[in-house]
Structure 1
């Protein structure tokens, strides 16, 4: 089911989770189409990567806060 098929509005964090899983699946499919002989390795890699993605919005909040704290302050004129 695509993110835009879910009835109602999704909060930004839920949409982000959905987009990350879609991107992972799309990338794996493209890699398999490019070289079907590596399909088993690609599928294994995709499964490993999906286990690292957050499963809920409660998992995103602490990670987002940690990332925000570790980000350097934007320097003037850098476009950040």
Structure 2
């Protein structure tokens, strides 16, 4: 499925989700045809409920969106 993606994509994993999820996230990001960024949120579980994890998730997502908009001149 990832090979069919032709838009910039941000793949985010939580560091405490386990090695299998980390491997899956990396493989998924590496198979996307468009520009892709892979990020791991440190000290976060899959649900991002730890102190500061959700904020970090929002921060990296907002940064990524702003970078894409600037790159495309929007």
TM-score normalised by structure 1 residue count:
0.32
Which structure features the higher share of helix residues?
Answer: 1
Which structure features the higher share of strand residues?
Answer: 2
Larger Rg: 1
